[in-house]
């Protein structure tokens, strides 16, 4: 069975991982996948794709929003919802991941789920902001056939749990590639500590970027048996989702998630022209009520110049780097449309 890189003796950074070494180490965070792996017709069309849902907490996300931010490393992407996330500093829906042409269907399905859960949306209160990120899986997936439906988004949300998330060629990662090898979903976590206070940082990536010649494999293995892949993503991208329970403002969260780009760069990426390299972050430390009659809101946040901020920066970089490697180490060789084949990377 595919294993995380730590189980193969590859240790990234110096900070301690969470118990599950997964984004679900952040209390309340849940992840659900729906994976499509089936022939569509007799002409070689094949569904090799899926949907991944990341829920910041177990309650009603519209009624109890979380502090959030996003950061664009390179903007060749087709996300929904990030303009409002950065304007208001909150997320009020599940964070959804899928393929490029699946964004409309996933947005519709997530919207329907949230409407069914909140009768007041569009009636006695305003609208809702749905967040969806994507990568292009068209080498393995018959993306023009648009096999993703709104129902798949709802199913992924309903399947979400706080168990260690499946990784590799699952959910939105089913048809993705990383450095020319099979990529997809990867996750990792870190614990930062000051005295008796601990905070958790969890990362989940949807990896779909890079040529094999760019992969800094020598940093992780001394083996020379891995042949160079000739496959590469059509338009390589990565969506990085960072979760924490540290009490941060939206501005502070932006500072932390910028450091995810360091972890991405350590693997060999240079954020290429055609890559949508986007980070979405949230903290579960604050739940912001949708309705309140209070004039003033009081929230705690970390002091900017406290040394623990540097630990959070390091945690973001380390967890991102390891999550990318886990997306490679746990992905299995996959055959998709027209017999296209992408090999798993052997660490």
Q: What is the pLDDT of residues 96-138, one digit of tens each?
A: 999 999 999 999 999 999 999 999 999 999 999 999 999 999 9
pLDDT for 230 equals: 54
- 41 has pLDDT over 80: yes
Mean of pLDDT values over 77-93: 97
Q: What percent of the chain has pLDDT over 70?
A: 96
pLDDT for 44 equals: 76
Mean of pLDDT values over 69-84: 96
- 289 has pLDDT over 90: yes
- How, if at all, do strands 237-244 and 276-289 pair? parallel
pLDDT for 227 equals: 57
Compute the distance between CA of residue 345 and CA of residue 330 in angstroms, rounded to an integer. Answer: 9
Provide the pLDDT confidence category of residue 263 given band limits of 50, 70 and 90: very high
Contact 149, 101 (CB under 8 A): no
pLDDT for 43 equals: 82
Which residues make beta-bridge pairs with 208?
237
pLDDT for 187 equals: 98
Looking at the chain, list the stretches that DSSP marks H as alpha helix, in order from N- to C-terminal side.
82-88, 103-117, 150-159, 250-258, 260-267, 308-329
Instruction: Average the pLDDT over each of 35-44, 195-204, 303-312 and give the range with the smallest value.
Output: 35-44
* The CA-based dihedral angle spanning residues 289, 260, 25, 184, taken in that order and rounded to the nearest 10 degrees: 110
The 10 Å Cβ neighbour count of residue 307 is: 9
pTM: 0.96
pLDDT for 2 equals: 78
- 234 has pLDDT over 80: no
Provide the pLDDT confidence category of residue 8 given band limits of 50, 70 and 90: very high
Closest CA to 166 of 185, 192, 144: 185
User: Active-site residues: which are they?
Assistant: 237, 275, 277
pLDDT for 49 equals: 98
Compute the distance between CA of residue 5 and CA of residue 188 in angstroms, rounded to an integer. Answer: 10
- 265 has pLDDT over 80: yes
Mean of pLDDT values over 55-75: 97
Compute the distance between CA of residue 347 and CA of residue 345 in angstroms, rounded to an integer. Answer: 6
pLDDT for 114 equals: 98
Q: C-alpha angle with apex 321: 163 to 37, nearest 5 degrees?
A: 55
Provide the pLDDT confidence category of residue 238 given band limits of 50, 70 and 90: very high
- 224 has pLDDT over 60: no
Mean pLDDT of the chain: 95
Tens-digit pLDDT profile for residues 133-168: 999 999 999 999 999 999 999 999 999 999 999 999
Q: What percent of the chain has pLDDT over 90?
A: 92
């Amino acid at each position: 069975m595919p294993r995380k890189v730590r189980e193969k003796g590859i240790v990234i950074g110096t900070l301690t991982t969470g118990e599950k070494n997964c984004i679900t180490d952040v209390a309340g965070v849940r992840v659900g996948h729906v994976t499509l792996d089936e022939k569509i017709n007799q002409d070689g069309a094949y569904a090799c794709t899926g949907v991944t849902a990341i829920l910041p907490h177990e309650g009603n996300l519209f009624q109890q929003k979380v502090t959030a931010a996003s950061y664009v490393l390179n903007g060749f992407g087709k996300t929904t919802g990030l303009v409002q996330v950065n304007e208001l500093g909150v997320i009020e829906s599940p964070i959804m991941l899928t393929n490029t042409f699946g964004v409309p269907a996933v947005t519709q399905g997530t919207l329907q789920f949230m409407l069914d859960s909140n009768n007041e949306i569009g009636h006695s209160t305003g609208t809702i902001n749905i967040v969806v990120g994507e990568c292009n899986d068209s080498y393995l997936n018959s993306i023009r056939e648009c096999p993703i439906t709104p129902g798949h988004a709802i199913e992924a949300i309903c399947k979400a749990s706080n168990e260690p998330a499946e990784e590799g060629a699952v959910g939105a990662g089913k048809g993705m590639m990383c450095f020319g090898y099979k990529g997809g979903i990867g996750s990792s976590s870190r614990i930062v500590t000051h005295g008796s206070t601990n905070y958790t940082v969890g990362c989940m990536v949807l990896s779909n970027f890079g040529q094999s010649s760019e992969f800094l494999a020598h940093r992780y293995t001394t083996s020379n048996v891995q042949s160079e892949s000739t496959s590469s993503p059509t338009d390589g991208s990565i969506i990085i989702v960072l979760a924490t329970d540290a009490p941060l403002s939206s501005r502070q969260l932006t500072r932390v998630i910028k450091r995810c780009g360091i972890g991405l760069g350590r693997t060999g990426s240079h954020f290429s022209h055609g890559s949508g390299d986007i980070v979405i972050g949230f903290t579960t430390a604050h739940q912001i009520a949708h309705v309140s009659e209070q004039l003033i809101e009081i929230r705690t946040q970390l002091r900017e110049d406290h040394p623990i901020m540097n630990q959070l920066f390091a945690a973001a970089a380390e967890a991102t780097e390891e999550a990318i490697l886990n997306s490679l180490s746990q992905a299995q060789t996959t055959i998709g449309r027209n017999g296209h084949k992408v090999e798993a990377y052997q660490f």
